[in-house]
Amino acid sequence: MAAASSTYLTKLLFLLVTLSGAPPLATALSFGINYGQIANNLPSPSRVSVLLRSLNITRVKLYNADPHVLTAFSNSGVDFIIGLGNEYLVNITDPVKAQDWIEQHVQPFIGWTGISCIVVGNEVFNTNNTQLMSYLLPAMQTVYTTLSNLGMEKQVTVTSAHTLNILGNSYPPSAGDFRQDLVGYIKPLLDFHSQIKSPFLVNAYPFFAYMYNPNEVPLDYVLFQPNPGMTDPKTNLHYDNMLFAQIDAIYSAIQALGHSDIVVRISETGWPSRGDPNEAGATPENARLYNGNLLQRIEQRQGTPAKPNVPINGYVFALFNENLKPGPVSERNYGLYYPDGTPVYDLGFQGYLPELVSAASCERVLYPMVLLVLVVYSMICPQ
């Protein structure tokens, strides 16, 4: 009875949020969002859950398994990818520690919050740490085995995320191959992906290609704007944007190692709205064009030239600007929103972030509404 009462109260509190001024749900958006938290000025997870609900964004990628976030999104219909950071890889190869982590960070939320994927490690092959690289596959295997032992392997898949630096060659796309020094790690990793049927995740940023070579890389080509594009001389496939060419280069590299049964997904992509003077192209207008044009392609369920029947599936980086991220100015300016909930630039949709209100405002505005909720609650759940 206590659980049922809690459910009624939760629904009533959602009603309270609606009555307090939240707009109706937007048309469903197909893209996912990266919810980074390296900042000291972000809204609470409960306020963020209302923002994403107002946008009807139903896919979120975390870089950890923050229980405050997962709790705040309980019963929200949002599907989460959660992260198990590089710092865990050594210990997580131990089955006991792997089970401990899953029982603490995953199992309590199943049934309340959708968790469909665990990303084990992030950009491990970009670290030049061969010991860490050697732990990646065993860690993934241990996590998967633990999920299987707990009966959760069909509900939660296991993967990792990689940068494009794993490629030795990416042009033309048909010549894509993995760096020779990484093949010994990546080949068994691909075998594992094939075995458990999990996607290969890539963090792809055409921004970097343009930033480093602004005189050679056409801006329209990286921004999905009209341009002549390029034709792959081997396949005769035409590319009108760099991101699709990068993804097909990954497909070619995977195929070169004997696999045509692994789907490539975009775990991160985006464009900064600000940068240092030497970061060419980091402007609000270019960020608006890149993300806006990309989202149109995702909404249209486009595939790449080499995989036209496999709609691109991407997570935009990122939800908010993160003021504590180290590195150049661009690192702190990838967000679609400022922490106060205002858009950094106009992408054609408007979200709603509940305001923080003072105690006086609460008493004046919310107190009568809370009384209404309590009255209705007492009628539904009489003592």
The answer to whether the beta carbons of residues 20 and 354 sit under 8 Å apart is yes
Cβ-based neighbours of 175, under 8 Å, separated by 6 or more:
169, 234, 249, 252
The answer to whether the beta carbons of residues 204 and 266 sit under 8 Å apart is yes
- Give the pLDDT confidence of 106-149 residue by residue, as tens digits: 999 998 999 999 999 999 999 989 999 999 999 999 999 999 99
pLDDT of residue 196: 98
| Amino acid at position 358, single letter | S
Active site residues: 123, 268
Tokens of 142: 């241990």
pLDDT of residue 380: 55
| Amino acid at position 263, single letter | V
**Which residues are 316's β-sheet partners?**
33, 269
Residue with tokens 């009384």: 371
The answer to whether the beta carbons of residues 189 and 121 sit under 8 Å apart is no
| Beta carbons within 10 angstroms of residue 286's beta carbon | 22
Q: Which CATH class is domain 27-61+164-379?
A: alpha beta
The answer to whether the beta carbons of residues 157 and 111 sit under 8 Å apart is no
pLDDT of residue 191: 98
pLDDT of residue 362: 43
Low-confidence ranges of the chain (pLDDT < 50): 1-26, 358-367, 370-371, 373-375
CA–CA separation, 311 vs 301, rounded Å?
5
Instruction: Report how far apart, in Å, the C-alpha atoms of 240 and of each of 107, 137, 219, 268, 283 are.
Output: 44, 35, 12, 20, 22
Instruction: Note the pTM of the prediction, 2 decimals.
Output: 0.87
